[in-house]
């Protein structure tokens, strides 16, 4: 699930970049978040850090899947890691996945992938 969603996210990120080559990163991310909402994945908020190498915070309200382990986290956040990898041109991965049951929000940090 993780690898499949990551690959699909990279393809979608490349596709949206090709469709809108003059779009800013923020504009493209907003379009991807709209795709998420229209697909029924939830309402996604993306917060970019000021520094290029800092983490990116993702929050999904009313997520289609709930949980902070296994397929739940891979399904929502691996796709985003792939899409953001494509847009930023560097390998990223989801970390610190958490589900707030009371607020019905899933969150994670998308961070640069450490080389192995």
pLDDT tens per residue, the chain (116 residues)?
A: 788 899 999 999 999 999 999 999 999 999 999 999 999 999 999 999 877 667 899 999 999 988 777 777 778 899 999 999 999 999 999 999 999 999 999 999 999 987 65
Alpha helices in 42-91 (DSSP H): 70-88
- CB-based contact 68:106 (threshold 8 Å): yes
The C-alpha R_g of the chain, in whole angstroms, comes to: 13
**Segments making up each domain of the chain, as ranges:** 2-112
The pTM of this model reads 0.90
Domain 2-112: CATH superfamily is Trafficking protein particle complex subunit 3 (3.30.1380.20)
């Amino acid at each position: 699930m993780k690898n499949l969603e990551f690959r699909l996210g990279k393809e979608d990120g490349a596709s949206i970049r090709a469709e809108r080559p003059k779009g800013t990163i923020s504009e493209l991310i907003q379009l991807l978040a709209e795709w998420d909402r229209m697909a029924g994945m939830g309402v996604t908020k993306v917060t970019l850090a000021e520094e290029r190498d800092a983490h990116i915070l993702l929050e999904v309200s009313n997520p289609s899947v709930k949980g902070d382990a296994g397929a739940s986290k891979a399904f929502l956040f691996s796709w985003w890691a792939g899409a953001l990898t494509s847009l930023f041109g560097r390998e990223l991965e989801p970390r610190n996945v958490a589900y707030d049951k009371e607020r019905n929000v899933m969150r994670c940090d998308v961070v640069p992938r450490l080389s192995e």
